[in-house]
Amino acid sequence: MRCAANASSVRARVVGIDASRAVSIAPTGTEAYSYHLIRALLAEADAPERVRLYFRSPPTSAPVPAALSSAEWRVMPFPRLWTHLRLSWEMARHPPDLLFVPAHVLPPVRPARTVVTIHDVGYRYFPQAHPWRQRLYLDVSTRWNARVASRVLADSQATRDAITREYGTPADKISVVYPGYDSDLAPVRDPVRLAEVRARYAIPGDYVLYLGRIQPRKNLARLVMAFAQVLPHHPALTLVLAGPAGWCEADIHAQVREAGVEGRVRFPGYIAGEDKTALISGARLFAYPSLYEGFGFPVLEAQACEVPLLASAASSVPEVAGEGALLVDPLDTAAIATGMRRLLDDAPLCQHLVAQGRANLRRFSWKEAARAVWRIFQEELAA
C-alpha cells in the first residue's frame, strides 16, 4: 500500500514543446523537422512525462490534429513577438519541467531545463547570401540559444563543430541527433503519373532537378552556368529549379537570361507533397550544389526516390549523403558541369550511387531520432 501511495503522489513531469512551426501549410526544412520530430516524440513518450504543445494558431491541416492528438495543446494567439511575449508569459504562469524548441528561438522567460535545436550557422560563412537584417537576427538568436540552453541539439557533426567554433559553446553541451526522412517516399515507376507531373509543370522531357528554396546560398547561379555548359551535349535537357521564392530570386532569373538558357529552365515554385515524389523520381539526376547546409533533407529525398545525386562537397552534405552521391566543389562551376555530364552519360556509376543511397538511408530514422531526444530530455530532467 505504501508503494502505491508513493506512486500516486509522484507528479508527472511536463515536457513543453514549441510546436508553432510544426503546422506550416507549405513546410520547408525546419518546419518539416519540427513536425516529424514532434510526431515521433509523441509516439515514443513514456508514462512519467506529459507532453504539452504550444501553438501560435490552431492547426488547420487535417492530418496534423490526429498525429499530435496524444498531447495537451495550448493554442495562444498573439499578433507580434509571440515567443518573446506570449510564450514567455505562459512560461512564467505555467512552466513545464523542460522546454524544447525545435525550430525557433528560446523565450526570455523559460524553465531552468531547456533544449533547443540549432540547424546551421551558414550565415557566418556566406554572409553575402543573406539579407543583412536576417543575418543579424540569425546571429543574435543563435548566439542566445547556444548560451542559455541547458542542452543544444545539432543536426550533424559539421553543425556541432561550427557552433563550437563560431560561438565557443562547449562541445559536451551539444548533442548530434540526425533527423530522419519521410519513409513514405519511394520511387515512382508509373509512366502515366510521371508524364502527368511533367505536363503539370511544363517540363518537356528529360530534366535535371533542384528542389529547395530559391536563394543565393543554394548556389543556383553556378548550377545554371554549369547547365549551360552541359546543354550543348544534351540539347533536349531541361533544368528544373523547384521550390519557394527566397531572397534575391530575381538574380537567379537574371543568371538564366545571361547564360542564354531561358527556354530550358523552369521555375515551378513550391511543390506540394503529392507531386514531389513523382517529380524527384522522374529526374535524370538530382543536383544539390549548396554552398552550406546544416543537414540537407533533399539529399535523402533524392536517395529515397532512387535518383542519381550530384551534391556539394561542403559543410554537412558529405556527412549526410554518405557514399550515395557524386560530390563536387560547389565553388567550381566546371566541376559541377563535369559531374552533371558524368551522371548523364555513365549508367553504371548512376546505378552504383543509387544502391549506395538506398543503403545510406538506414542511418536516418525519425523513430531513432525521437528515442535519442527522449534520452536527452530524461538526462536534463534528472540533472
Take residue 79 and report the three cell numbers written for it: 499578433
pLDDT at 61: 62
**Which residue bears the cell 511544363?**
202
Name the DSSP class of 217. Answer: G
**Topology of the domain comprising 191-363:** Rossmann fold (3.40.50)
Cα(221)–Cα(237) distance, integer angstroms:
18
| Cβ pair 327, 303 in contact under 8 A | no
Report the top-level CATH class of 12-180+365-382. alpha beta
| Cβ pair 200, 275 in contact under 8 A | yes
pLDDT at 242: 96
Q: Which residues are within 8 A (CB) of 9 and not within 5 positions of it... i.e. 6 or more apart?
A: none
pLDDT at 320: 98
| Cβ pair 292, 306 in contact under 8 A | no
Cα(68)–Cα(70) distance, integer angstroms:
6
pLDDT at 2: 32
pLDDT at 62: 53
Take residue 213 and report the three cell numbers written for it: 528554396
Q: Which of 25, 54, 26 is closest to 38 using CA atoms?
A: 54
* Per-domain residue ranges of the chain: 12-180+365-382, 191-363
pLDDT at 272: 82
With b for 16 or more beta-carbon neighbours within 10 A and e for fewer, the 128-153 pattern comes to ebbeeeebeebbebbbebbeebbbbb
Q: How far apart are the first and last CA of the chain?
A: 30
214: amino acid identity, one letter: I
Per-block average pLDDT, block size 10, for the chain (383 residues)?
Answer: 41 91 78 92 82 88 68 92 96 97 96 97 87 91 97 97 96 97 91 96 96 92 97 97 85 92 94 90 98 94 98 96 98 98 98 98 96 96 90
| Cβ pair 242, 209 in contact under 8 A | yes
Helix (H) or strand (E) holding 232: none
Cα(34)–Cα(27) distance, integer angstroms:
10
| Cβ pair 261, 234 in contact under 8 A | no
Cα(215)–Cα(297) distance, integer angstroms:
16
Cα(370)–Cα(364) distance, integer angstroms:
11
Q: Are strands 98-101 and 114-118 parallel, antiparallel or unpaired?
A: parallel
